[in-house]
Amino acid sequence: MTWWRFGVLYQIYPRSFADSDGDGVGDLAGIIAHLDHLRGSPRSLGVDGLWLSPIYPSPQADYGYDISDHCAVDPLYGDLATFDRLVAEAHARDLRVLLDLVPGHTSAEHPWFREARMSRAAPRREWYIWADPAPDGRPPNNWESAFGGPAWTLDEATEQYYLHSFYPEQPDLNWRNPAVRRALGEVTAFWLARGVDGFRVDAIDRSMKDPLLRDNPAGVGVAAGVPLSPGGQLPLWNKGRPETLDVVRALRQAADVARPGTLLLGEAYVPVDRLGRYLGERAGEAFDLAFDFDFLLSPWDADRLRLAVEGSEAHLPPHAWACRAFSNHDNPRHATRYGAAVNRAAALLLLTLRGTPVLYMGEEIGMEDVRLPGDARDRAGRDSQRTPMQWQDIPGGGFTAGQPWLPVGDTSAANVAAQRDDPGSLLAFYRRLIAERHSSEALGSGTQRMLDTARGDGVVAFLRESEGERLLVVVSCAGRGATVDLVAAARGRIPPEGRVRVSTDGDRSDAERVSVASLALAPNEGLIVEL
């Protein structure tokens, strides 16, 4: 089985992971110095791969998602030699490295766009998407940027609007132009030649737009889970277009030519029943994985989580494999959304489900969103979940010796140093779950079957089975104790008793025998039971 099916991925937001030179911003040398946290020592988490949010030269209007040079490292973070050292050090620990590939747009400062905006006849004009103003001078249509406001900005000099799905500083590339496909293919090859193992591919659902530039309708009466634009519009014509599969195929081909087996993990904010479009009809044709945002955006509610999990199992094409995270750099942290009381149960759920789990830096120590005193840095309001990694309980959190670019949260309990050697810590619990996942065939690759627990019980329960191993996972999402009959929920398919393998509840001992016909659960308890 491929490494990423068994594997656990870990997202690093480079600005905020570790600062080696005291400028208050994280950097590659800082990451290298902390690789042991991830893998390679007995106290490591034990993850299999890391994903770095963008490290390329950038004016930082969208903190690196506005790239001005795809084939270099921003001096804030280091240089190519340091990057090569990072890859070597990671590989020496058997830790894979994924970069963030941003195919949909560049920075407005990118030489391609500077050239494109020089004149209507500029050779690279058609690398971006231009349109004449409407007869009344307004934008060509009503499309909205994902961050709010019109998705069009007038270029005064050439008197045409350019399209930007995100900030005006991020003009959209024109993926209908073969030269753009080639250029991004070359970017992929550049980094694969430096040894990277794959890419997380940014905002793929925005890469294709209606060539007629038709107006979007208002999002009235649409199904829950379909994300609307900030102004309430249904992004029918500028997002999730069927032609997007061509873009993914082009990236796949470029990656395979440079290095077969490259992992491509796509980001598409679409309901899970539409993810298949990005995964192709056959394995190896498109993305290997695509984030399940129904899961990430679900509240801590048993019925909703069950639906999200079963939705992905049922809707993904048979060759595909789910990919789930509870937190990332774009959304409030789950410790804050759900409350710290459920951190362990959430970890147990994420790390026992069939599919590749992705951790967001800091969740393993229970980091929470940090409320900022005014002065936001990110215009889209995402600073709170991007604050520095908390290594130690000292000023600067062990992240920096200087002034951190964003304030450091409460480090009194949530810090790596305090938790690393404490067997009762959240960090130790994550380490344990990852180790279980690696050593258990049922958890790594076994089948999954949800038990039909009663609605309102507040319990998610499922079987993970492989030849010779049968595990029952039970997670209570209820803030009160509950007693459930899982034999009935399994329609009699399981024995009435089992043995505890892992529990979120310190009061239970490993190998304790429990009745699953009448299982008494503590509030927000999670359990792995061997049947």
- The single residue among 146, 163, 187, 204 that binds ligand TEU, judged by CB under 6 A, is 146
Residue pair 107/68 in contact (Cβ under 8 Å)? The answer is yes
203 binds ligand TEU (CB under 6 A): yes
Beta carbon of residue 269, minimum distance to ligand TEU (angstroms, whole number):
4
- Residue number, nearest CB to ligand TEU: 65
Applying the rule CB under 6 A, the residues between 57 and 86 that interact with ligand TEU are: 62, 65
265 binds ligand TEU (CB under 6 A): no
Residue pair 459/478 in contact (Cβ under 8 Å)? The answer is yes
Tokens representing 309?
């999990």
Applying the rule CB under 6 A, the residues between 341 and 380 that interact with ligand TEU are: 380
SS3 342: helix
Choose the binding region for ligand TEU from 26-34, 43-51, 327-335, 482-490 (rule: CB under 6 A): 327-335
Q: Which is nearer to ligand TEU, 48 or 202 (CB)?
A: 202
Q: Which is nearer to ligand TEU, 173 or 528 (CB)?
A: 173
Classify strands 160-163 and 263-266 as parallel, antiparallel or unpaired: unpaired
Applying the rule CB under 6 A, the residues between 20 and 39 that interact with ligand TEU are: none
102 binds ligand TEU (CB under 6 A): yes
Q: Which is nearer to ligand TEU, 31 or 203 (CB)?
A: 203
**98 DSSP β-pair partners:** 51, 198
202 binds ligand TEU (CB under 6 A): yes
Q: Which is nearer to ligand TEU, 13 or 127 (CB)?
A: 13
Of the candidates 110, 119, 265, 255, the residue with the CA atom closest to the CA atom of residue 172: 110
- The single residue among 77, 166, 237, 338 that binds ligand TEU, judged by CB under 6 A, is 166
SS3 32: helix
Residue 43: Cβ within 10 Å count: 15
330 binds ligand TEU (CB under 6 A): yes
Choose the binding region for ligand TEU from 171-179, 315-323, 325-333, 418-426 (rule: CB under 6 A): 325-333
Applying the rule CB under 6 A, the residues between 216 and 245 that interact with ligand TEU are: none
Beta carbon of residue 331, minimum distance to ligand TEU (angstroms, whole number):
6
Query: From residue 394, how far is each of 238, 311, 399 by CA, in Å?
Result: 47, 44, 9
Choose the binding region for ligand TEU from 154-162, 329-337, 429-437, 499-507 (rule: CB under 6 A): 329-337
Element of type H or E holding 182: helix 178-193
C-alpha gyration radius of the chain: 23
String of b and e for 104-114 (b: at least 16 CB within 10 Å)? bbbbbbbebbe
Residue spans of alpha helices (H) in 353-475? 416-420, 426-439, 441-445
Q: Which is nearer to ligand TEU, 277 or 437 (CB)?
A: 277
Residue spans of alpha helices (H) in 411-464? 416-420, 426-439, 441-445
Q: Residue 444 class from Cβ within 10 Å (0-12 exposed, 13-18 middle, 19+ buried)?
A: middle
Q: Which is nearer to ligand TEU, 97 or 102 (CB)?
A: 102
Q: Which is nearer to ligand TEU, 71 or 380 (CB)?
A: 380
Choose the binding region for ligand TEU from 15-23, 328-336, 491-499, 517-525 (rule: CB under 6 A): 328-336
Tokens 């790594």, residue located: 444
269 binds ligand TEU (CB under 6 A): yes
Of the candidates 2, 35, 95, the residue with the CA atom closest to the CA atom of residue 356: 2
Catalytic residue positions?
A: 202, 267
Beta carbon of residue 267, minimum distance to ligand TEU (angstroms, whole number):
6
Beta carbon of residue 100, minimum distance to ligand TEU (angstroms, whole number):
8
CA 282 to chain centre: 23
Binding site for ligand TEU (CB under 6 A): 62, 65, 102, 146, 166, 202-203, 269, 329-331, 380, 382
